[in-house]
Structure 1
């Protein structure tokens, strides 16, 4: 029996006990029942007098029903194999594994893992009533999502267009002639969606489109902005576009190896580096703080601040360095977030976040202050301020954060097949949270006769 089932039975028992007590109390008050010496007395004495300890909410009983468009492989996995002309939709049999060596492309591969979660191996058809219900259910019964083959049954529609990979493969140089292929794919997918009656029905509001790379879908982004977008942050979006009400902030896919055997007897003392950073220091916008931090942090014996570029060797060294450090520095890059934060989490290295405008994944369910430290840009560049705070940080409090990191790091793991509570399942939960707003907006739009007054400035 799963933990969620145990919790449901426990809640059902408590609810039944409550109604029994209520009934007995009512009968006693109207004078029809005397509880003195009653056989109810031992039962009543055994009831709990205090509220049970809080436990995180279980997955809802009804998984999110997702219809995935059958797009030609040139829109998704075809880009992994450079077979961009393949017109057949991907299936569980033809799904290629994510390349073992893919460098920094991996960090924006959220789109791949979300699609793969709808193609889980060992699928079986769930039949209920005549003709079945058209739902494919994977082996993991506690999944947050099921794929439906009938679009009429869908809660949301998933668009498996790898816009991040398209940018990395075809548009990374921005002005290169091959950029036209990235643009053409966006034109083609937009045409495809606009011809769908399900897109027309909601104007795309109940459609889920991964757009994790800051430059993903950059040519026609505004044309799909009504949809539920899966983003890394809002650094490249105007305030009139993407926002927390409708969009989902997804973690980067970490590139360092997960620390799965972190059972050091005394981790606080064994992690001899106070603060660790390895990465680029020349960045744009809010990321200019990196260059300032480099100058401020030079000369500290217990601080490792190294300028480096992404490579397999650099990733290997970062894996080792983060595991030997108490705190891992996460300053803003070209956008407020970066992969470094999630590398720190799976390394159980307490993140030190220096970014004034960062938005974080799953923040309606996780309190990042329980396992991360936050400094404003102004605080971080004050000479000596941040280092002094870190050196004075209590060991007991750090150990509490370290334990918390170990307990929540599985929420940042992308894998196939997905597991209960991993990154993909957490993202589908977040999509579910956005659905009421999407439905409200779609329904209001259908009946409005004038421009929506809530969209105006007040």
Structure 2
């Protein structure tokens, strides 16, 4: 085999050298060839529609021929078809079929002479190959059309033969060319070619025979003697290589109970597998019933293509199975699926594979092409019958015959066989076919290939001469085309220049418009700033005017009061002098006691007990809250005794506290009258401003009063961890952090309960649930009883709870059972200040008494990496939510939007590799639906990521809503509008969204939890909410 391949390569190099040695002047560039073919087709159509295309028919007599090229030039514009002589029939018909593409460019078919028969057949081969390569390489529509259309007037005669086999006389051929003949379309021609090719391949596949050995026996590619071997098998199998041998006493043995039984066989060479034969000759074993066959060209491999499923009969002899779709494989995998009987072992004696290899397949194709029915020269002339008047049906049949002929010419094997039939050399295929049933010798195949190369070489020379004539013929036409192309290029360049000028003008206009818009925005911002400053200045002037008027009125009042008190002092001094004088004279004045009462009620600080010598009287001391009593003189007990001056009631500590709170209320109420967007109070850290506050000035004044007056006493009763401790790294971290900061001590806590404005009950509902609740019991009575006992201890040990019935006490809980826990103590539920995350009005939350604070999920206990997000222009997602099913609101949200929209992105579980924080920071709006409880940590997570929060809840009071205006930096959507989320959010303009996003960044400071609390952070905002509730309560002793 190697010697034959080496000889073939040497002959091929010799042919290439001979071709390369030809005259280089005859070479034409490939691109020029393609352009020429296109132009030939176009101009042929123009000639057909011109004067040169006349309807008519010409009769050619028998034996008429033209033997030189001048005849071709003289008849190139005529409508004549050549009728070949008897000796030239085969070659000429071959020319008509193969070069029908060239015929479309002319209305004349070339008429070769007898001496040019061999050359003409070579030209036919070359034309067919050149047309095919031309269409595939350039993919030009003109060349495809030129290669797919054939002349409608090329009518081949129908053949009729007599039963005696005597040659029939050829009749004159009359050709009628019609200018309106409908030619075959490109798609129709291709479909017919593919149909004929498919039929040929199907016929060949159906007639495929097995390779046989020189002795006539079928060649077994799975025989160990041919080089086949077993590569793999299941671990329970024994004797797997025996199936490749001929010894019937040896076999492959498998326990029938093995789950996976298989064997992988490497064939002796790459084979087109047609038939497989298996056999089991062992009598005391189970026969194979069902098996599966797979194949592959490489091994090892993970992909086996299936060859078929087969069922073998239950018999002890060989069984053959023919593959419906033979395929080329080198490795076979036999999966043994089921078996007959109930024996312990399942055996397999032999496996044989029959088919063909590549060389056998090529020789079979050559032999089948050799035995195809062909028309010889003399038989063609005898059998051809030319109708005198061909009709449209004859023309259509002629088109089909030409298309079929061109499709058959695509096979190189037919050309080889026809060429060999015309040569004088003996037919090697026929000889080898009769020589032996085995393989054809390699020298014969080499001769066939050499003959084919020579045929292609001769055909190429004819094609080169034809291209030279075409080049000279259309040279002038190309010059005109070049001239037109040049003119068109000038027009195109001028058009491009005009377009560039227009683009420059457009750019200049856009720049001017952009400058105008930027100037307009700048002026608008300046005017807005001036308007704001004007409003602030006007409010300041009004405040100064009010203060000035107040000071003027105050000065007048003070002056009048001073005059009145001066007169009272003078009058009282005068009366005292008179009384002392009269006392020395022992005169009795009964109306003195009434006067003393009046003076003591108006001006008790003017009484000087050291200067008076009153006996039996009590008086008020200048030191507020103290009382001094002078003992009564018994000598004047009679009528000389004077009734005592009435006592002034002293202030208790609670009354002092209430007095301070009263002044704070008045100051806050006065600050609330200023409706500015910015506080008028100075603050080194932060001055509230903007529409995120309901009243920035009132909030700032209230916050400053809280820092000045608020004192909280924490009860010491209770043991950790259910008291004085809480979680700091969970969804309830806000509760634990607040208890921790209060227990740590700060400027708001005091150890003197008499100085406290508020009293903190430091129990943690989260820890009570953790240590007292039995999981899945749904019984919370133990938690309620623990809180009730704690309040009983506080009320019995301290008087402050009973004094106010819990009105100045507060508790804090972020657990959703917090409201339910307080219901076990009615005073705690109805009177105390409850600071809750689950601020649900439908569950008894009172906004005027109870405070709402945010639920913050701190997984690590810190907020590092949670703050900040992308700019608004880099947020491609309109709205985002991710969370599991938790309550009916989330059920409606997931049902409507889960993975159904690219703008509203909703997940119940994030896909793998997607970060929750990154999705928040890439979203414009963040959906915050309520779960089983109304509060959700997603509100604060959205604010941390600078994403506008969208609250979807029922009966929920947002945190710090008594101070913050949530509509200025968030969106609230009712549950019934869940289906309209996209339309509602799309309705928010870009400018409005940018304002809301800036306000989210501003309000972020009020939700931040710091390791050490800072002013205006979440810890201080919770204290401020409690402070406001305390201002609403007035407690009497």
The residue that corresponds to 1:455 in the other structure is none
Q: Deviation of residue 435 (structure 1)?
A: 1.0
Partners of 1:114 and 1:410 in 2: CA distance: 17
Q: Deviation of residue 402 (structure 1)?
A: 1.1
The residue that corresponds to 1:262 in the other structure is 868
Whether 1:280 aligns to 2:869 is: no
1:220–1:77 distance in 2 versus 1, CA, 3 Å: closer
Match of 2:806 among 204, 213, 216: 204
Q: After superposition, give the CA deviation of every residue in 1:271-320 in whole Å (9 maximum; x if it has no partner).
A: 1111111112241xxxx1212221221321123211149xxx99x93222
Whether 1:115 aligns to 2:739 is: yes
Q: Note if contact 1:111-1:160 (Cα within 8 Å) is conserved in structure 2.
A: no
Match of 1:64 among 699, 702, 710: 710
Pick the structure with more helix per residue: 2
Q: Note if contact 1:164-1:217 (Cα within 8 Å) is conserved in structure 2.
A: no
Partners of 2:982 and 2:927 in 1: CA distance: 11
**CA-based RMSD:** 3.6
TM-score (norm 1): 0.67
Partners of 2:761 and 2:932 in 1: CA distance: 27
Q: Note if contact 1:356-1:376 (Cα within 8 Å) is conserved in structure 2.
A: yes
Partners of 2:847 and 2:549 in 1: CA distance: 44
Q: Note if contact 1:215-1:236 (Cα within 8 Å) is conserved in structure 2.
A: no
Match of 1:307 among 908, 912, 937: 908
The residue that corresponds to 1:19 in the other structure is 548
The residue that corresponds to 1:322 in the other structure is 920
The residue that corresponds to 1:191 in the other structure is 792
Whether 1:151 aligns to 2:798 is: no
Partners of 1:307 and 1:377 in 2: CA distance: 18
Match of 2:988 among 393, 407, 410: 393
Whether 1:355 aligns to 2:953 is: yes
Partners of 2:778 and 2:868 in 1: CA distance: 45
Partners of 2:939 and 2:774 in 1: CA distance: 23
1:268–1:78 distance in 2 versus 1, CA, 3 Å: closer
The residue that corresponds to 2:190 in the other structure is none
- SS of structure 2 residue aligned to 1:438: coil
The residue that corresponds to 1:408 in the other structure is 1003
1:78–1:214 distance in 2 versus 1, CA, 3 Å: closer
Q: Deviation of residue 432 (structure 1)?
A: 1.1
> Which runs of 5 or more structure 1 residues have no equivalent in the other structure?
1-9, 28-49, 81-97, 122-136, 139-145, 447-458
Q: Deviation of residue 379 (structure 1)?
A: 1.5
Q: Deviation of residue 53 (structure 1)?
A: 5.8
The residue that corresponds to 2:972 in the other structure is 374
Partners of 1:396 and 1:386 in 2: CA distance: 19
Q: Deviation of residue 361 (structure 1)?
A: 1.1
1:391–1:20 distance in 2 versus 1, CA, 3 Å: closer
Q: Note if contact 1:322-1:328 (Cα within 8 Å) is conserved in structure 2.
A: yes
Please show how residues 87-166 of structure 1 align to structure 2 within 5 Å.
98=728, 102=729, 106-120=730-744, 138=747, 146-166=748-768
Partners of 1:20 and 1:234 in 2: CA distance: 46
Q: Deviation of residue 23 (structure 1)?
A: 5.2
> Which runs of 5 or more structure 2 residues have no equivalent in the other structure?
1-538, 557-673, 680-695
Q: Note if contact 2:818-2:836 (Cα within 8 Å) is conserved in structure 1.
A: no
The residue that corresponds to 1:250 in the other structure is 853
Q: Deviation of residue 176 (structure 1)?
A: 7.5
- SS of structure 2 residue aligned to 1:334: coil
Q: Deviation of residue 60 (structure 1)?
A: 2.1
The residue that corresponds to 2:832 in the other structure is 227
Q: After superposition, give the CA deviation of every residue in 1:108-139 in whole Å (9 maximum; x if it has no partner).
A: 23333323333457xxxxxxxxxxxxxxx54x
1:21–1:191 distance in 2 versus 1, CA, 3 Å: closer
Q: Deviation of residue 344 (structure 1)?
A: 1.0
1:208–1:416 distance in 2 versus 1, CA, 3 Å: farther
Please show how residues 400-439 of structure 1 align to structure 2 within 5 Å.
400-439=995-1034
TM-score (norm 2): 0.31
- SS of structure 2 residue aligned to 1:414: coil
Whether 1:54 aligns to 2:678 is: yes
- SS of structure 2 residue aligned to 1:421: coil
Q: Deviation of residue 18 (structure 1)?
A: 4.2
Q: Deviation of residue 184 (structure 1)?
A: 5.5
Question: Which structure: larger Rg?
Answer: 2
The residue that corresponds to 1:131 in the other structure is none
- SS of structure 2 residue aligned to 1:147: coil
1:371–1:169 distance in 2 versus 1, CA, 3 Å: farther
Q: Note if contact 2:725-2:739 (Cα within 8 Å) is conserved in structure 1.
A: no
1:152–1:15 distance in 2 versus 1, CA, 3 Å: farther
Whether 1:296 aligns to 2:896 is: yes
Q: Deviation of residue 353 (structure 1)?
A: 1.4
Q: Deviation of residue 22 (structure 1)?
A: 7.2
Q: Note if contact 2:952-2:974 (Cα within 8 Å) is conserved in structure 1.
A: yes
Q: Note if contact 2:784-2:824 (Cα within 8 Å) is conserved in structure 1.
A: no
Q: Note if contact 2:726-2:739 (Cα within 8 Å) is conserved in structure 1.
A: no
Q: Note if contact 1:329-1:351 (Cα within 8 Å) is conserved in structure 2.
A: yes
Partners of 1:222 and 1:167 in 2: CA distance: 15
